[in-house]
Structure 1
Amino acid sequence: MTRPHIRILATGGTIAGEADPACNGARYRAGVRPVTALLAAVPGLGEIASLDAQQILAIDSKDMTPDGWLHILSAARQALADPSVDGLVILHGTDTLEESAYFLHLTLPTGKPVVLTGAMRPADHPEADGPANLLAAVRLAASPDATDKGVLVVMNGTPYGARHVRKARTRGLDAFESDQSWTAAVPDGRFARLTPSTLPRVDILPGYAGAPAMLINASVADGARGLVLALTGHGSVPTDWEPALQRAREQGVALLRASRCAGPVIRNGNADDDGAGWLTANDLPPPKARVALMLALAAGWDASTLQHQLPGF
C-alpha cells in the first residue's frame, strides 16, 4: 500500500523553541530549531507517510502579521496544487494559531487535509509535547477522515476545526478547546480565489468601563479600514462611542459589533444595527471576526454584501 505524501511547512513557534540561557531557563526563544531537527526527533513519522519539509518562517507567533499569513498562504496553495502532495501540516506557535488557522480555512481550496499544530513546551523541555503533536498532525493529515473538513488543528492528541478552536488557557497541554467536535467541521474556502498582495488594516477595539472614544478616532486617523468592536455583554456599544462611530462610518470605515464574551451577537439585538450601519459578528470571537472582515474588504465586498454575509461565517 502506498503511503500518503505529506508536506510540512514550518513557521517557528514554541515547538521549535529552546530555553534562553541568559535567564537560566525561566524563558525560552521560539523558532530556534529548524524543521529538519523537529522531524528527526520523531522517528516514527516515516512509517505513517512520506514527507518533505520547508522552513518558510522562523518566528514567535506573537509576531505573526497579515503579511506572514499571506506568506504561509502562498506556500500552502503551492503545496496543495502539487498532485504528489496528499496533505499538509503547518507548524505554528500557539499564541495566534487560531487566527492563522481560520485565515487559511477561508482562503485555501477545500479537499486535501490541512492540519496546524504547535507546542506548549519548547523543544528542549524534558517533557516536550511537540514531537507527539507533530506525530498526531501527520497522522491526521494522512487520514481520509480529514478530507473535506477545511483546516484542522491538533493539540494534545485532540483535533479541532479551525472555525471553532480557541486557545483558552495560558498554561498546560490542554490549552485549546472548542464547542464543536472536529468531525462536524465543514470546509469553507470562500476566498480561495482571492490573491491579495496586502490585506486591509482592521483594528480590534476593546469595550470596558470608561473606554474612551478616542480609540476609534486614533485607529481611523491611522488608516484603519475596518474596526471590530470587542464589546461587553451582547455587543453593547457605549453611548459615548456613538458620535465617533458615526464619523468613522461616514469616512467609509466598516464597523463590526462583536463581544468579549462567548457569542452570539445577534443583528439588531440590543442595537439598531440597520439604522447605524453596523455589522455583527454572530458567534465569531473578535480575532476571527477581524480575519473575516479583512478578507471581505480585500475582496471588495460592498456594504450590503458585508451585512448579509459576515454573520454567516
Structure 2
Amino acid sequence: MVNDTNILLFTLSAYFDTGVLKYLYFLIIIYVYLLIIGANVLLIVVICVNRSLHEPMYLFLVSLFVNELYGSTGLFPFLLVQILSDIHTVSAPFCFLQIFCLHSYGAREFWTLAIMSYDRYLAICFPLQYHTRMTPKKIAVLIALTWLYSFFVTALTVSVLTAPLQLCGNIINKVYCDNPNVVKLACSDTSGINIYGLVNIFTVIFGLIILIIFSYMRILKVCFSGSRQTRQKALSTCTPHLASLLNFSFGGFFELIQSRFNMNYLPIMLRIFLSLYWLTCQPLINPLLYGLKMSKIRIVCRRLLVGRKR
C-alpha cells in the first residue's frame, strides 16, 4: 500500500512520558474497553435470544452494537500496546489498516443512526403501515448497505486515494493513525483525496443530516398534534436515539475541527481527549442509553441478570 513512499514507520507524537502513571492509564483504558465489550455483547445477546425483541428497531440496534465492538477493537488494543511502549511507532501497513477500520466505523455509525431516525419516523408517523413498509427483507438490505457502503465506498476509497501519496514526513500528531494527518505529510498532489472529502461531506453527510432533520420534524409534528400517550411513546423511543446522535455528532465535530485546523495552542491532554471522544464515549454510552431508557430491553436484562421474580 505504501510502495510509492519511503515511509516504513510512522511516529505518533501525541504520546508523552508519563512515568509510572502509564500503568494507571493502562488500567483505565483496559477497564473502559472491557466495559464496552461487556455492555455491547450483553445487549446483543439479550436482543438475539428474545423473540419479543425481534423488531426492526432492535435489529438496527444489534447492527449498531456490533459496530461499536468493531470500532473499539480497531482502537483500544492498539492504545494499550502504545501506552506501555517506550517507542511510539507503527508500521505503515498497520497504520493504513487502522485508518480503514476507524473510517468504516465512523461512516457506518452515522449511516445506522440515520436509518434508525427513518425507522422511528415510519413507526410514529405511519404506525398502521409500519410493518408493511419496514419488512424483514428491507431491514436486511438496509443493514447490509450500511456495512458494504462503509467498507467499500468510504474506507476503501480513502485508503486507495491516500496510500499512493508521496510522503515527506512520518510524524502523526495523534495517539492513533488518522487519515487527515497522513495527508498533511504528503508532498505530492492531494487534490484527489481533497475532492473526494468535499464530495463525501456535501453529498453523504449533508444528505443524511437532511434525512434525520426531516424525520424528527415529522415526529415532533405528530407529538404536538397527538395524544399524551403518543407523545410518551415517541419520547421513550426517540430520546435514547437522539441522545446517541447528538453525542456522536458532538465527537465527530471536534474530530473534524482538529483535523482541519491547528489546535496546538490547546493543552495536550485536552487534544488527546477530544480526539478519542468519538471513539470511546459512543461505544460506552450507547448500551447505557438504550439499556436504561428502553423499557423492553431493561426488563429482559433484569430477568437475565437477577432472574424472574417468583
Greater percentage in strand? 1
TM-score, normalised to structure 1, is 0.31
Greater percentage in helix? 2
Greater RCO structure (CA 8 Å; 6+ sep): 2
